[in-house]
Structure formats: structure tokens, C-alpha cells
Amino acid sequence: MERRDFLKASAAFGCAATLSACDSSSSDAKPTPTAPALTEEKLNWSACCVDCGSHCPVRVFSRDGVITRIESNFTTDDEYGNHNVRACLRGRSLRKRVYAPERLKYPMKRVGPRGSGQFERISWDEALDTVAAQLKRIANQYGNEAIYALGGPGAMYSFSNRGCLNRLLNLSGGYLGDYGNFSFAQYIKACKYTYGAEVDYLFGSSIAEMANSDLVLMIGHNPSELGMSGSGQGYDFVRQKQQHNFKTIIIDPRYTDSSLGKEDQWIPIRPGTDAALVEAIAYVLISENRVNQAFLNQYCVGYDENTMPADVPYSESYKAYILDNPVAGDLTAGANAKTPAWAAPITGIPATTIIELAHELADAQAPFVQVAMSIGRHSAGENNVRTAFMLPILLGKVGLPGTNHGGIPMAASMNVFNMESHAEAGDDANPVKKRISFFKFIEAVENGKDLTVLKDGVILPDEELDENGDGKLDTDIKAIVAYATNRLINQNADVNYSRKVLADDNKCEFIVVIDNVMNASAEFADIILPDVTYVETEDLVNQGHVAGDTATLVQMSTSVGPMFESKPLYEMCVGLAKRMGIEAEFTQGKSHKQWLDEAYAATQAMNPGLPDKEVMLKQGIYRKYLPNGAYLSNKAFREDPLANPLPTPSGKIEIYSERLAYLAKHWQLAEGDVISALPKYVPAWDGFEDEATRYDYPLQLSGYHTKGRVHSSYHNVPWLREAVQDAVWMNPIDADQRGLSTGDKVRVFNSRGTIEVDVKVTPRVMPGVAALGQGAWLKMENGIDKGGNINVLTSHRPTPLSKGNGQHSIRVEIQRA
């Protein structure tokens, strides 16, 4: 029982049996007063709204405003297709997160140096007055471009999300926008320059389509840990595997929970070398004439002499590159051909295994190829993903039953009103049209005026570009509004660099953090505004991109909040709008309840079967298994490419991209960065072949999403720290060389910093590679992080094309602490 619950219960019953002051054996004891009857336990539906991509429903039981228990969904007979939408261990521990000691209870202002964590309690009036005054001052002094809005992944609501904040900023003159995100910045660029669209081709065929497949290949994909809820991809994958028994091959540096006997073959690979593996497979397919030439001729640009763009020679084709032979029609391999023997020492995969894998793919009637977002989060991530897409393309296994074009499996979904989309529509759109990569905001604080289009990927309106297509920002970032995010510090790369830049309040002059826990990012706030938690709010939530083949809407309601002095984001924004003179425009004359009712009505109009709100408040969820049937990626394009062209300039799959060839010539790239017209392996910085770092830091460190938290959310829940060990994995060969055993305390370090963490010695990670779950809360002591935060070790150098986070390219050494 929580201490708060215990004290409340003790008060209700007058005394507890363990308290000697209430010992009824005393002759002088007075009659114990009759305890008041407890009120009836209430049930409200809520959801776990963190950014895992599931947003699972939970049932919240409370009495007298105190949560008594939280349960998952148990409302059906659990037959697959009408199964329970079960929350994972994180959602089930939500009560501990609500009552955590780190809970933010009231507004606070900084009273010590920024980052020192020294705050004092203030009133809401003082807090909102300060925030409004500072935002207006900075906008007047530097322009609205100096204001940056950050975050939202910690509270993925539909209504009371970052869209409320965006609307407020839009109506007050705008803010510096961004593009991309930590999850799939590189992936969406690979989709854009291969299939033509960033988001539309991010998602591939439904998992249900595996029923028609005879081989499922997962390159870094790990559904059993990423989508492990009862309605998630992990559950759907297992059910399809059980029913159809297709062969499953998993390529990953770790033997993940998606393996554990569910796979037929695990092929460990060195991090960041996936593109080298694919090129060696391509060599086998091409040299053995096992590519689908008819498909390549009709549907693709850039494979060989038959498919090159006008005025681009065959020597620039994919086939010529793989064979290292500029002579069309000749299968003779050159000295630099991408053979299995070439790839083996790079990837750590024997050449014979590569050849066997190529034959497995060629022999498969319907290979379902999934390329994980994780292989994009490397220093050459865009090239990794584009190259991996080549497997189904070379085989011509695109748009056919049982296949996938390489994208992340499409999750079933319903349409829902979303305030973030609403905030960018019509008159509410952001007046500031400049945007930067999400990963460049720290640089924009330090020296934003030096960020340009050609060097940093800044997006500017055409009228602000010079004759060379270049231009830059007009100001540094001077204010940050961070909502429901820990990526101000904890989740950002190179934590020590981020802390140093943000600690200087002469650079970024004002930081407001809106959250419900005191985390590493909140410690860098000037003003903290306490947000409600999921169980304290009303909203309608749609399950996300890893929710699997069951689409679910969750109607959240509350009987326990807002707790302490916390407020929903919408109410904070109303208070700020009033102080900024835009209350009427922001509220449009509607109350919070009216907004919620209208949002529900809009969602109901998009989903005609959705019950009335009063019904949903009782039943909690509305779900459908495959509401639109199983999705097969590229089906229409395969059936008729002329009537259904891709949104590429050519209308076809672009193996050779003229747009990328242009960028490669005009963008200003750092040494070692490569933008290529062809998908190709690039031995990039901090990778396996990086000569500058491999000898001082001989181990590659692979970060992964742990079951014990979602990014950094839930890290402060003791149950989860007990259930999922935070330890760095090492292969026994590497551990023996360093005299290490499971349970030893070790230091993991490189030139950027040092962390201290336990070690787990296991053959579930390949030699030369260590693995550590990301998201642990920073705990700096004398320059060493004792919390085990992997971002103390990651680089803030952006990837070349998306200007995204190459945070999976890490070289380290490990020694006994």
C-alpha cells in the first residue's frame, strides 16, 4: 500500500493495529470511535500515453480520490481477433508513477544556477505571469523565431497534447518549428528518396499479411519488446508464427526477446554494417542471375543500363556499383565488388552464411522483409535503410501477397481528432515558416545564426534563399518551452555538451518545463509548471504505430484529479493566453468541456460505429480487428504502375535518385559524411571501421529499447527496476579479456563521458559488441554518471541527409569500476 493510502486508511479507521498508542488492552483506553464507512470504489478508464506507439487502456480503481489499484483490460473471452487489449508491465505499474516521490506538485521557479536543481514554490499566478512576460519579451527583442517548442512524447493525448501549446504560440506570433524526430528521422528520408513519400511509405504491410508469407526477415526489428502489449505487434507476430509456421530469420547484434525460440535463425551483426550485408546479398543475387529483371525494368529507376535516367551512364548504376564493373551486360566482378568475402570481416557474418541467406531469400515465394527504425539511427543511417530496402526490390517481391516493401508493419488505426493537426490548420497555422532539424536545437541555442540551409538542413521560405539556394536563421534560440519531454537533457545526445550549453542563461535566456516528474530536463528549467498524469485527465486516445492489427480508441476519464496543484495543459494555455491578450482567439469562446465534447463529436463523425460519449465513458474502449482489412504495401502500384505511380519524380522506385545526386553536389558535408545517389554502405564515424576511435575504444555499444521504461518514462518506478535489470551486456569473450563477471560494477567510457553500471555477461550479444538499454535517468556524481545514461556516451554530430541522431554509432571501452 502507498504511504499516502496507508495514512488515509489509518485516519479513516481511527488507528492501526500496529500502533501502540491505540492498544485496547490498556485499562484506561477510551472506546474506539466508529470508523466512517468507505465510499464505493470507482472505476475509470484511462491509458498509458507514453511514446511507445501503443497507448494501451488501463482500468483505474479509486476510492475517495485515491487510486487503489490499476488493472489491464479483461473484458472478452480473449479469442484472437477479439482479444483483450492488455497493457504491458509499464502500464500496469502506472499507479507507482502517479504517486512517485519525484512527482511535481506545484509551480516552482529556479533560485540557484541553472541545472543545479534548486527551486522554490510559487503560485500559479506568479508562474503564468512570468512565463507570459518572458515569452513576450523575447519575441519583442529577438523575434518569434527565437522561441522554440520542444517535446510532447511523454503525453501522447489527442486533445490536451503539444497542439494546445503550438496553437498558443501560433496565435502569439509563432515559433521556430522543427522536422524529423528521434525515432525515424533517417528512415523517412530513405522512404522519400526511394518510394517518394516520407510518412506514407514509412509503414509497410500489416502483420496479418505474414499469413501469406513463407519467410519473415527482421533486420533489427524487435516487436516482442517494442510492441509487447496485448494488442501490439509482438502478440500479433507470435500468433501468426504459431498458426502459419513461416521461417523467421532475425538479424540483430543482440539475441532479443523477439528471438527466444520464436526464430528459426539468429544472425548477429556488427552495429551499423547492415548495408554491407545487403550489398553482399545483392552481389550473390546479381552474379547468379536471381534478380527479378522484369520487375526492375518496369518498376524501377537506376538498376542497370535499361533503367538509368537520361544522361546518367551505366557506370553509375546499382548493378555496376555492386559488381565493380562498368561494362553493361558483363557479370565479371571487379576488384572492389561487394562480395560475401568482402562483407564478412565488416559485418562479422561468415561469407557462407551470407550466401545461404541470399539463397533463402531468392527461394522464398513471398518474403516479408522488415527493416527496423534502429538501423537508421547510425551515423550513416539513411544509407543503411535505403540499402536494406533493396532486398525486396531486387527480388521483385513488392506489392504481392505475403510481401512487404521493407517498411515498419502498418498498425490498424482509427481516425481521431488531434489538436496538434488542428493547430497547424487554417488561421491557426504557425506564422514562422523556418524550421530546423529536431536534433539541431542545442546548436541553435549556441550559435543559431550560423545554421544554414546547405550546411545544416535549415528549411526556409523561398524568398529567404539566395541565388545558391542558401540562407540562414536570423537569431539564436533564446527561449525553450519544453512539454512532456526529457530530451532537453536526458534523451538528447552528448549529455555533457547539452548541459554545458543550457546551463548558460546568457545563451538561452528562458526555459519553461511542463511535466509531472522532476527529471534531468526539469532541473534545467527557470519555471516549472506541474502537469497532470494520464489518470487525472479526460481525453480520447488512439492507439499508435506499434499497436498491431487491432485498432483501439480509449476514452479516458478521472475520479482522482487533478492532484496537488497540477493542471491539464489546456488550462495552463488558457491562463497564458489571457495574459498574452489572446484568450478569445485561443478558446474561441468554448470551455474545456466544450472543446472535449466537440473533439469527440468530430471523432465520432470519422468513425460512424463509435458509441456516444456517455457509453464510452462506461465501456472505456472501442476496438476493431483489422477494421479496413489487412494492408498490403505497394499493391496498387504493382497492379498498375501507370495508373498508380509512386510520388517520386519518375513515378517509379528510385534506386538511383537524381535528387540525392543534386544534394551530394551542393550540400556542405562534414568530412566522412556521404550523400549518395545510390543506396550504399558507408563506413562512417564511430562505426566499426572508424580508425580514429576503434583502437582507444574497441567495443561497439548498441543502445536498445528496454522493457523497463519507454525512453525515460517509468524509469523512476521501483517495480520496473526490479523486473528489468539495467546492466550493460557483454559477450563472455570480451568480459574474460577484462576479468569481468556478471554483477561487477564497471565504467563504460569514451571521449564524451563515463557512466557506471552493472555488467551482465551473456552470449546473447555478439563478441566486440556491448549493449545497454537507453533512457536511464542521469545521476551525475563528480563528473561520472551513476545512473547508466547511454547519452553520456552518444555523439551530437548529425547524420548527413536528415540531420538526425546517429546515436547508435558509439565506440567505448569497459573497465572494472
Note whether residue 516 is domain-resident: yes
382 and 425 assigned to the same domain? no
Is the model more confident about 410 or about 16? 410
422: confidence class by pLDDT, cuts 50, 70, 90: confident
CATH number, position 425 = 3.40.50.740
281 and 313 assigned to the same domain? yes
78: confidence class by pLDDT, cuts 50, 70, 90: confident
**Residue 28, pLDDT score:** 52
Note whether residue 175 is domain-resident: yes
452 and 531 assigned to the same domain? yes
As given in the structure block, the three cell numbers for residue 224 are: 516482442
Q: Quick check: 622 and 553 in contact, CB under 8 A?
A: yes
Establish how many alpha carbons lie within 13 A of residue 441's alpha carbon, considering only the half-sphere containing its beta carbon: 31
The alpha-carbon radius of gyration of the chain (Å, integer) is 27
CATH number, position 804 = 2.40.40.20
79 and 119 assigned to the same domain? no
The CA-based angle 510-780-727, given to 5 degrees, is: 125
- Calpha distance 576→581 (Å, rounded): 9
470 and 509 assigned to the same domain? yes
62 and 141 assigned to the same domain? no
Bridge pairing between strands 699-704 and 769-773: parallel
Average pLDDT for 223-233: 87
Q: Quick check: 56 and 86 in contact, CB under 8 A?
A: yes
Note whether residue 549 is domain-resident: no
228 and 377 assigned to the same domain? yes
Is the model more confident about 128 or about 19? 128
Note whether residue 643 is domain-resident: no
565 and 660 assigned to the same domain? no
CATH number, position 332 = 3.40.228.10
The SS3 of residue 79 is coil
Q: Quick check: 55 and 553 in contact, CB under 8 A?
A: no
CA 641 from centroid of its chain's CA atoms: 33
Q: Comparing C-alpha atoms, which of 815, 703, 700, 691 is closest to residue 769?
A: 700
As given in the structure block, the three cell numbers for residue 238 are: 507470435
- Calpha distance 449→458 (Å, rounded): 11
- Calpha distance 299→5 (Å, rounded): 64
343 and 219 assigned to the same domain? yes
What backbone torsions phi and psi does residue 113 show, to the nearest 5 degrees? -60, 145
**Residue 31, pLDDT score:** 65
What backbone torsions phi and psi does residue 341 show, to the nearest 5 degrees? -65, -35
Structural domains in the chain (count): 4
pLDDT tens track for 12-59: 333 332 233 333 334 455 666 776 667 889 999 999 999 888 889 999
Task: Indicate if the pLDDT at residue 377 is higher than 70.
Answer: yes
Percent of the chain with pLDDT over 90: 84
pLDDT tens track for 675-726: 999 999 999 899 999 998 999 999 999 999 999 999 999 999 999 999 999 9
As given in the structure block, the three cell numbers for residue 357 are: 541467406
The SS3 of residue 101 is coil
What backbone torsions phi and psi does residue 401 show, to the nearest 5 degrees? -55, 135
| Average pLDDT of the residues of the chain | 93
CB atoms within 10 A of CB 301: 21
**Residue 420, pLDDT score:** 84
Handedness of CA 760, 766, 767, 768 (dihedral sign): negative
**Residue 10, pLDDT score:** 35
- Calpha distance 647→653 (Å, rounded): 9
Longest dimension (CA), the chain: 107
Task: Indicate if the pLDDT at residue 492 is higher than 90.
Answer: yes
Task: Indicate if the pLDDT at residue 118 is higher than 90.
Answer: yes
Least-confidence region, from 70-84, 91-105, 168-182: 70-84
Task: Indicate if the pLDDT at residue 569 is higher than 90.
Answer: yes
Query: Helix axis angle, 124-142 relative to 569-579, nearest 10°?
Result: 60
pLDDT tens track for 575-614: 999 999 999 999 999 999 999 999 999 999 999 999 999 9
Q: Which residues contact 40 (CB under 8 A, 6 or more apart)?
A: 63
167: confidence class by pLDDT, cuts 50, 70, 90: very high
pLDDT tens track for 729-770: 999 999 999 999 999 999 999 999 999 999 999 999 999 999
Q: Quick check: 150 and 166 in contact, CB under 8 A?
A: no
Task: Indicate if the pLDDT at residue 8 is higher than 80.
Answer: no
Burial of 21 from C-beta contacts in 10 A (0-12 / 13-18 / 19+): exposed
Note whether residue 633 is domain-resident: no
Is the model more confident about 198 or about 178? 178
**Residue 30, pLDDT score:** 63
Task: Indicate if the pLDDT at residue 4 is higher than 70.
Answer: no
Note whether residue 635 is domain-resident: no
444 and 465 assigned to the same domain? yes
**Residue 15, pLDDT score:** 32
CB atoms within 10 A of CB 306: 14
pTM: 0.93
| Domain endpoint, select from 48, 71, 98 | 98
The owner of cell 543550457 is: 502
What backbone torsions phi and psi does residue 3 show, to the nearest 5 degrees? -60, -40
As given in the structure block, the three cell numbers for residue 112 are: 540557484
Q: How many helices (H) and strands (E) does the chain have?
A: 27, 31
314 and 343 assigned to the same domain? yes
CA 370 from centroid of its chain's CA atoms: 17
576 and 594 assigned to the same domain? yes
- Calpha distance 694→703 (Å, rounded): 18
Note whether residue 321 is domain-resident: yes
343: domain range?
203-406+648-666
Note whether residue 567 is domain-resident: yes
Q: 130-134, 224-228, 544-548: which has the highest mean pLDDT? A: 130-134
Dihedral in degrees, nearest 10, Cα atoms 203, 208, 212, 218: 50
